[in-house]
Amino acid sequence: MLDTLLHEFAHHLDVHLFDWPDTPHTRGFYWRVDALYHLALTTPAEKRKPLVWIKSGTRWRIDLTKLR
């Protein structure tokens, strides 16, 4: 539930903070969601794992096996 809340909050911030008419799911968007997640959980910087991206055709996806 926290992931969904932060995901939707990131859309809200994109619209109201950056004044964007649309908030696509870009790598930057997911970086902002990840940053909010760690801020919410107060994860120490040394325990955070960076997002690892894999190119799948013309799209990018997060390699979830690297985050476990």
Q: Where are the domains of the chain?
A: 2-66
Q: Cα–Cα–Cα angle for 40, 45, 35, nearest 5°?
A: 40
DSSP 31: H
* Mean pLDDT, the chain, integer: 92
Least Cα distance to 33 among 4, 60, 66 occurs for: 4
pTM over 0.75: yes
Average pLDDT over every residue of 8-20: 94
31-53, pLDDT tens digit by residue? 999 999 999 999 999 999 889 99
